[in-house]
Amino acid sequence: MECHHIKPRSQGGLDNYNNLVLITKEVHKLIHSTQMETINKYLKYVPTDKVILENLNKLRI
């Protein structure tokens, strides 16, 4: 498990509990990925449920 900042520190986000979410390593890589090859690779580890994908996309910058 890894911590992800909901609002990035580079944009003024803090290290408090309200701004952190625990996610798997694969989901963390998927959130920060910008290349389709990498996105497709890590999508295999995430259920393709619509609600899950919508929530994941909310964490993307």
Is the pLDDT confidence value at 61 over 80?
A: no
Looking at the structure of the chain, the number of domains it has is 1
Is the model's pLDDT at 52 over the cut of 90?
A: no
pLDDT digits (tens, 9 = 90+) for 9-47: 999 999 999 999 999 999 999 999 999 999 999 888 887
Q: What is the pLDDT of residue 8?
A: 95
Domain with 8, as residue range(s), is 2-59
Q: What is the pLDDT of residue 44?
A: 86
Q: Are 24 and 32 in contact (CB under 8 A)?
A: no
pLDDT at 56 (0 to 100): 83
CA distance linking residue 35 with residue 50, whole number of Å: 21
Q: Which pTM value belongs to this model?
A: 0.77
Q: How many helices (H) and strands (E) does the chain have?
A: 3, 2
